[in-house]
């Protein structure tokens, strides 16, 4: 008799690949029409996963439309079945899949929009932390600002794209009516975070993503700001810090 692990592997392969035959060990309580029952179960599993992906990627679902989204997600499920029982962890590679899918090559922004939505879900499930009172930073001596290490909210996620993904996401998820987005307007550096109950997606100022990336690695404000200024002539540390405080991204600091 096959080992339980072998039975489970065969069942999974058949469940997620309609081209595979039904496992011979599968039966029904009446011993009649087990294949029909298995096909119903397979169909329910597929549509459960498709609904999970639609919930994770609402902008992609809207951009592709019902028929194309259904075909695309079915292909994705067959090639990339879930590895965790927690469905909010399913779809990490969906952006890569969309980017490589031959029928979608005329829509190069889809991959990064999916990555943005994936990071939205990660931010949603991240830990909570109380934001810093902005007045606390005002107590730091001006000659010590370069030595400050900022603690950033644990929900912070960053994404840089050559496409205007924040505008594309916003009009497909937030706006009551979808409006055309000028793809020639250039790319976005996006900040994804959940300061309180709701996840927010913001378009960052020039150089802000570089600054945040280096601060997240433990660099002090001086060197991180210098790197950001080298990356972008338009970088303005005062405006960026004001944005970060207003968005509740800073949760603490140490000097030195």
pLDDT by position in tens, the chain (length 256): 567 676 666 666 666 766 667 666 666 666 666 767 777 767 778 888 999 999 999 999 999 999 999 999 999 998 898 888 888 889 999 999 999 999 999 999 999 999 999 999 999 999 999 999 988 888 888 889 899 999 999 999 999 999 999 999 999 999 989 999 999 999 999 999 999 889 999 999 999 999 999 999 999 999 999 999 999 999 999 999 999 999 999 999 999 7
Domain 129-256 adopts which CATH fold? Outer Surface Protein A; domain 3 (3.90.930)
Which letter does DSSP use for residue 248 in this model?
Answer: T
Nearest CA-CA partner of 230 in 247, 246, 242, 214:
214
Structure confidence at residue 10 (pLDDT)? 64
| DSSP output for 96-153 | HHHHH-GGGTT-TTHHHHHHHHHHHHHHHTSPP-PPPPHHHHHTS-GGGGGGEEEEE-
Q: At which residue do the structure tokens 């001596």 appear?
A: 141
DSSP 5-34: HHHHHHHHHHHH-TTSPPPTT---TTSS-H
The domain ranges of the chain are: 1-107, 129-256
* Residue 96 burial (CB count, 10 A): 13
Say if residues 188 and 242 touch (Cβ distance below 8 Å). no
The gap from C-alpha 197 to its chain's centroid, in whole angstroms, comes to 17
Residues in the chain: 256
Interhelix angle 110-124/58-79, rounded to 10 degrees, is 100
**How far is the CA of 123 from the CAs of 41, 50, 88, 138, 154, in angstroms?**
33, 22, 12, 28, 8
């Amino acid at each position: 008799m096959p080992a339980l692990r072998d039975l489970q592997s065969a069942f999974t392969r058949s469940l997620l690949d309609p081209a595979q035959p039904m496992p011979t060990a599968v039966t029904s309580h009446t011993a009649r029409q087990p294949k029909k029952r298995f096909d119903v179960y397979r169909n329910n599993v597929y549509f459960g996963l498709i609904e999970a992906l639609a919930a994770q990627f609402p902008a992609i679902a809207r951009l592709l439309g019902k028929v194309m989204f259904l075909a695309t997600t079915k292909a994705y499920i067959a090639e990339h079945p879930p590895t965790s029982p927690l469905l909010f962890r399913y779809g990490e590679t969906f952006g890569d899949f969309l980017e490589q899918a031959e029928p979608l090559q005329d829509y190069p922004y889809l991959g990064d929009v999916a990555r943005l939505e994936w990071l939205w879900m990660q931010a949603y499930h991240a830990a909570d932390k109380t934001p810093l009172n902005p007045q606390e930073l005002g107590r730091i001596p001006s000659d010590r600002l370069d030595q400050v290490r900022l603690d950033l909210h644990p929900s912070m996620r960053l994404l840089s794209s050559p496409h205007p993904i924040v505008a594309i996401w916003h009009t497909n998820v937030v706006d009551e009516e979808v409006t055309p987005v000028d793809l020639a307007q250039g790319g976005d550096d996006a900040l994804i975070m959940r300061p309180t109950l709701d996840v927010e997606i913001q378009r960052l100022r020039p150089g802000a993503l570089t600054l945040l990336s280096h601060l997240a690695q433990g660099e002090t404000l001086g060197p991180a700001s210098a790197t950001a200024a080298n990356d972008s002539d338009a970088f303005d540390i005062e405006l960026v810090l004001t944005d970060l405080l207003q968005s509740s991204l800073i949760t603490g600091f140490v000097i030195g």
